[in-house]
Structure 1
Amino acid sequence: MDEHMVSALVSTVELISSTLDAAPDSWRDQLQTIRNTTASLELIDSTPNETRRRWQIPLISVFQRVAFADADNGGVPDVANWCLRQALTQLQLYPEDVDLLTLIGQNWLLRAQKSLAKIHHNERGSSSSGASYGHPLSRSEEERLAARSAIEAEDRLHAADYVEARGILLPATEYLKRAVDAARAQGRLNGVLLAAAAESFMSLGNVSSTRISGPYFHEALDYLREASGLQGYMLPAHLQQYLEEYGPLDTIT
């Protein structure tokens, strides 16, 4: 790709990014332009090149932003797949690149959102349709209900959405953990990355058996504590609530 084409591509990416900043719901309007690019562009560098890297990573990032603008409904698979393929290819040249590791981890985390949204919807429906009791329960009744709920929860883990979510979240946690470790080593650690890593481990814990989920939640809490201690960074509300509820005592087993 010659210098003129690169310049035009960079301008297009910057325009898409600024448009999304001003009107996030306009992402569908950007799809045709993005697909015109992804149909003919593959990032197949064979040697590291910092000049090319400086425009390639923002391009993948902006295209991935569009690909997962509606992550709960599955996003835009062809663009999401293109982004993952390019990032993985580039990672072979820059194996400790924090931005690439983060992009790959976020790609997997966002892929899981469709399954996680379906799980959340089904669990909410199940809890709202549960039996109600007109009298106080005895201790033995409470214990039986708790035991039954635990069995039902374990059984749900074998459902397709749970299996799919775990399979997608495992690489999300792997790459985001690598990103955190690389960022820490390079003095580039930031709250957004720590929050994403925490989100991935929390999500994996939520769809895993209680027999193995404890370490996932502990990892998430460690990241949240570290993020909350960074000057100038504020955790998203749901993560702050989680930290306040479980962080002080860390009672998760």
Structure 2
Amino acid sequence: MDENTVRALMSTVELIATTLDAAPDSWRDQLQAIRNITASLQLLDETPNEGRKQWQLPLISVFQRVAYADADNGGVMDIANWCLRQTLTLLHVYPEDVDLLTLVGQNWLLRSQKSLASIHHAERGSSSSGASQGPPLSQSEEQRLATAAAIEAEDRLHTADYVEARGTLLPAIEYLKRAVDAAQTQEKLTGSLLSTAAEAYMSLGNVSSPRVNRQYFHDALVYLRTACEIPNYDLPLHLQQYLDEYGPLDSRN
């Protein structure tokens, strides 16, 4: 690809990013321009080239941002799949690149959001409809209901949304862990990366059996504590609340 083509390509990417910053809901307006590019552009690198990587990374990052702008409803999968293919291609050339590992992990994490949103919606509906008013229950009745609820929760783990969520979150934590490990080795660790990894581990814990999810929650807390030690970084509110609630208890185990 010649310099003029690269320059024009990057101008388009920068314009898309600037437009999204100013009007996040405009992502649909960017789809045709992105599809025009992805229809003919395939990254086929086999040897490292820092000059090429300097425009390839922002391009994939911006396109992935558009692809998952509405992740709860499934995202734009043709563009999301293109981003994943290109990133994995580059990862063969740069296997320890923190940004590439993060992009792959984020792609899988964002891919899980549709099934996670469906699970959250179903559980919220179940909890509200299950609320009952009546006389206090006996201890044996409470135990019976608790046992039934545990069996029902275990059964839900085998339904489609839970299976799909785990299937996308397992590669998410794999690549995000690799990204964190590489960033630590290269002294590039950021609070944002740690928070993203923690989010993936928490989500996987929430859709896994209590027999195995304790380690996922533990790893999430370790990442959140480490993120708190990053200068000038503040955890997102929901992660700070999670750390405040579960972190002190976990640290005593």
TM > 0.5 fold call: yes
TM-score by length of 1: 0.98
2:127 aligns with 127
Deviations 1:139-173 (A, max 9, x none): 22222221111111000000000001101100000
From the superposition, tell whether residues 239 and 248 of structure 1 become closer, same or farther in structure 2 (CA, over 3 Å). same
**Offset at residue 133 of structure 1 (A):** 3.2
User: Partners in 2 of 1:139 and 1:173 — Cα distance?
Assistant: 40
| 1:182-237 deviation line (CA, Å, top 9, x unaligned) | 00100000011000000000000100000000100000000011111211111111
Alignment correspondent of 2:106: 106
Q: Which amino acid aligns with 1:6?
A: V
1:91 aligns with 2:91: yes
The equivalent residue for 1:186 is 186
Cα distance per residue 1:11-70 (max 9 Å; x no partner): 111111111111111101111000000000001012110000010000000000000000
Q: Which AA in structure 2 matches 1:97?
A: D
Matched, 1:75 2:111: no
Q: Is the 8 A contact 1:101 1:179 kept in 2?
A: yes
**Aligned to 1:211, what secondary structure does the other structure show?**
coil
How many residue pairs match? The answer is: 253
User: Which residue in 1 is equivalent to 2:248?
Assistant: 248
Q: Which residue of 2 aligns with 1:173?
A: 173
What is the aligned-residue RMSD (CA, Å)?
A: 1.2
- Identity of matched residues, %: 74
Change (3 A) 1:96 1:155: same
Alpha-carbon offset, residue 136 of structure 1: 1.9
Instruction: Give, in whole Å, the separation in 1 of the partners of 2:29 and 2:152.
Output: 44
Give the residue type in structure 1 aligned to 2:143: E
Q: For structure 2, which runs of at least 5 residues remain unmatched after alignment?
A: none
1:252, distance to aligned residue in structure 2 (A): 10
Does the 8 A contact of 1:16 with 1:30 survive in 2?
yes
Deviation at 1:251, TM superposition (A): 7.6
